[in-house]
Amino acid sequence: MYVPASNWFIAASLVVALILNFLPLQGDILIFRPDFVAIAIAYWNINHPHKMGMGVAFGMGLMMDVGNTGILGQHALAYCVIVYLTLIFGRRLRLFNSMQQAPQIGLILLIMQIVIVLVATSGGSALPDGQYFLAALSGTLLWAPGSYLLSMLLKQKSDPDAL
Amino acid sequence: METAPQFFRHGPGPFARLFVFALLSCLLIIGDTRFKYFPQLRQAIGVVIFPLQKIAYIPANIYDQVEEFIASFNLLEENIKLRQIYLENREQLLKLASLEAENIHLRNLLGAVQQIETKTRTKAVLAKILYTPRDPFNHKITLNKGSQHHIQLGQAVIDDKGIVGQITQLYPWSSEVTLLTDRDHSVPVQVVRNSLRSVVSGTGKNNQLELRYLSVNTDIQQGDQLVTSGIGGVYPPGIPVATVLRIERDPTGDFAQIISTPVAGVDRNRQVLILSLIQPESRDALEMPKIESGKK
């Protein structure tokens, strides 16, 4: 069932995702931390295309860049790539349930990380070691529960209107 | 309320939009990495995201408070232990004072030049680590003290073991610290054993620092302690920086490859100290601390 999403709900979910990204984690947990913002952006663009434009993704990316103390424009570009990929493959992805979507989302997250690495290396940084890409794996694992949670929240929110 | 889907008008296609935004981000990336163009934009965004970072810190705060609460049960024991440590430190401090006096006296006897007046006295501010970036490209951390707390650019940041880094970006309520391990960061150091002076630079890898441009036959050994030399005026002298891990002396090369590890728990701490150097009266405020630029 298609449940319409309000702009406020989308904005709130993106802010929560940003806060999750800013959690002061350290050590081994940090290695496994997925990019929550990337996952949220992918979710909205697959399930509610054209509700959240590329400009919003760009802005989220800039905030992530400043918070992340990185190069300005690095995450912005990466999140725009996510919007692009999910817009193109969105119709195909919507045919699957979230469990089947997960590996494909993992691939998209991996492409996003490769974009980030390319930007960083063009600035002169060394290539990261393999564990950097574990975030794509944890993002894949998070996709099914994450999208279930978001759709449940959406349904709950819009139920009184429907009845 | 959802409006009716627009069947015929979609605006530019995904690729066109990606192209525009990719161009925009490329401009930002080039402007930021090559010319450091956008400090105001960074400042503005930094102010916008600060409340989010503050909210994200709440769980850690709660964790700290719970830990403190549990620790409060054996306060007495801890107090006794701390007092013991205090007495031991006190004894060493007293020794230091007498050694200092003796040093000055001996220098006077030798007729040697008085030690160059450097900014040796410091004041410290405690700060918490708000954020550690995940990706290995940014050897920086964000602290919860900023220009509103009278923090200034270039101040040294230490933990209980040694130098962590220096402040390179200021926001009103937070600040960024470039760690020792950052590729563009260097610290003037000297070897404790023989006072050999050099500069230790970050390599961009975790827990690895490099002593560059020391000739193959330099007198340096594995396990040598490196402390700040105080030259350059950014770091106060005598604070531990690193320990020499291994030395590769390739007789065909010009320089020895000397790898060392920082002594400070660069990525283990929750709290650090921001040092502000107190300017001695006699000197002008000429020394603007500056981070070495990224050009190599």
- Give the CATH number, domain containing residue B191: 2.40.10.340
Q: What is the DSSP secondary-structure string of A40-73?
A: HHHHHHHHSTTTS-HHHHHHHHHHHHHHTT--TT
B220 shares a domain with B136:
yes
B46 shares a domain with B29:
yes
| Alpha-carbon B201 to chain mean position | 12
Last residue of a domain, one of B113, B146, B176: B113
- Which of these, B116, B31, B279, lies nearest to A65 by C-alpha position? B31
Neighbouring C-alpha atoms within 13 Å toward the C-beta of A40: 23
Domain that includes residue B247, residue range: 120-279
Cβ–Cβ under 8 Å, residues B179 and B200: no
What is the Cα–Cα distance from B187 to B178, expressed in whole angstroms? Answer: 12
Chain A and chain B share a number of CB contacts under 8 A equal to: 152
Last residue of a domain, one of B67, B84, B113: B113
Quote the pTM value: 0.82
Gap from B266 CA to chain A (nearest CA, Å): 11
Cβ–Cβ under 8 Å, residues A22 and B56: yes
What is the Cα–Cα distance from A6 to A154, expressed in whole angstroms? Answer: 9
Each residue's pLDDT tens digit, A35-88: 999 999 999 999 888 788 899 999 999 999 999 888 899 999 999 999 999 999
Gap from B45 CA to chain A (nearest CA, Å): 6
B31 shares a domain with B128:
no
| Alpha-carbon B176 to chain mean position | 9
Q: Where are the domains of chain A?
A: 34-149
B17 shares a domain with B149:
no
- Which of these, B180, B179, B155, B159, lies nearest to B167 by C-alpha position? B155
Element (H, E) at B225: strand B225-228
What is the Cα–Cα distance from A42 to B259, expressed in whole angstroms? Answer: 43
Q: What are phi and psi of A70, to 5 degrees?
A: -100, -165
- Residue A63 to residue B48, Cβ atoms within 8 A: yes
Sign of the C-alpha dihedral, residues B89, B94, B95, B101? positive
- The answer to whether residue B64 neighbours chain A at the CB level (below 8 Å) is no
Each residue's pLDDT tens digit, A20-49: 999 988 778 888 899 999 999 999 999 888
Cβ–Cβ under 8 Å, residues A14 and A41: yes
Gap from A75 CA to chain B (nearest CA, Å): 9
B268 shares a domain with B131:
yes
| Residue whose structure tokens are 């302690």 | B225
Q: Is residue B289 a part of any domain in this protein? A: no
- Select the residue of B25, B134, B176 nearest A76 (Cβ to Cβ): B25
What is the Cα–Cα distance from A106 to A34, expressed in whole angstroms? Answer: 11
Q: Which of residues 103-142 of A touch B (CB under 8 A)?
A: 116, 119-120, 122-126, 128-129, 132, 135
- The answer to whether residue B61 neighbours chain A at the CB level (below 8 Å) is no
Task: Give B-chain residues touching A162 at CB under 8 angstroms.
Answer: none
Tokens, residue B39:
């400090």
Task: Give the max Cα distance, chain B.
Answer: 93
- Select the residue of B42, B52, B294 nearest A72 (Cβ to Cβ): B42
pLDDT digit string (tens) for chain B, length 296 residues: 455 555 556 678 888 889 999 999 999 998 888 887 788 888 899 999 999 999 999 998 898 889 888 888 888 898 999 999 999 999 998 998 888 888 888 888 887 655 555 445 667 888 988 888 888 888 889 999 998 988 888 899 998 888 999 999 899 999 999 999 888 889 999 999 988 899 999 988 888 899 988 888 888 889 999 999 888 878 888 889 999 999 988 888 888 889 999 998 766 678 898 988 765 544 444 444 455 544 44
- The answer to whether residue B23 neighbours chain A at the CB level (below 8 Å) is no
- The answer to whether residue B68 neighbours chain A at the CB level (below 8 Å) is no
Last residue of a domain, one of B61, B95, B113: B113
**Exposure of B253 by Cβ count < 10 A (0-12 exposed, 13-18 middle, 19+ buried)?**
exposed
DSSP conformation class of B32: I
Q: Is residue B7 a part of any domain in this protein? A: no
- Look at chain B and report how many structural domains it folds into: 2
Element (H, E) at B109: helix B75-110
B233 shares a domain with B99:
no
